[in-house]
Structure 1
Amino acid sequence: MAASGQASRGLTALFKRGWNEIPEVIGSSVMAVIGIGLSVIGVSGYYSKDGDNRRYKMDYVVMRPDDPRVARIRKD
């Protein structure tokens, strides 16, 4: 019943044991989680600021001057 004793120690003991046995895997996993988190933040910021403005370049779009989307159009 050695497994039940290991399971009762919790996630912290599992992390410490993994760090002692395979530090490369644990370290790279932590960096991967940080990278995925930063990517999600970056992509959400990109789309919230209307970074993908290509839909106005593909087709001819007519907008009235009082349309609020007109302020976000760039002439790239």
Structure 2
Amino acid sequence: MATAQSRGLVNLLKRGWHEVPDVVGSGALALVASVVGVGTVYYYYAKDGDNRRYRDEYTVIRHDDPRADKVRKD
């Protein structure tokens, strides 16, 4: 007689871990990498990461442009 299978996400992950651990492990690693990547991109733009001090090409910014204050601080 077969045992009754319990349902739910946790039991699905447990069963998947026992049957195909490489797929579940790589999926968990991909989820962690996605969260870290999104956080890094958010932090980059929150700290005005696109405003580099040293560039390969120059940009002319007028004095009434809002970006001029940020450049003057550098």
TM (norm. structure 2) is 0.70
CA RMSD between the two structures: 2.6
Task: Structure 1 unaligned segments of length 5 or more: list them.
Answer: none
Q: Paired residue for 2:42, among 41, 44, 61?
A: 44
Give, as a single letter, the amino acid of the residue that structure 2 aligns with 1:72. Answer: K
Which residue number in structure 2 is paired with residue 15 of structure 1? Answer: 13
Correspondences of 1:51-70 after superposition (within 5 Å): 51-53=49-51, 59-63=59-63, 69-70=67-68
TM (norm. structure 1) is 0.68
Distance change (3 Å), C-alpha of 1:69 and 1:61: closer
Give, as a single letter, the amino acid of the residue that structure 1 aligns with 2:35. Answer: G
Give, as a single letter, the amino acid of the residue that structure 1 aligns with 2:45. Answer: Y
Distance 1:58 1:26 in 2: 48
Looking at secondary structure, tell me which structure has more helix per residue: 1
Deviation string, structure 1 residues 3-58 (Cα, Å, up to 9, x no partner): xx64x52111100110001000000000000000000000001001100126xx55
Which residue number in structure 1 is paired with residue 71 of structure 2? Answer: 73
Residues 61, 68 of structure 2: 8 Å contact kept: no
Residues 63, 70 of structure 1: 8 Å contact kept: yes
Percent of paired sites with the same residue: 47
Task: Structure 2 unaligned segments of length 5 or more: list them.
Answer: none
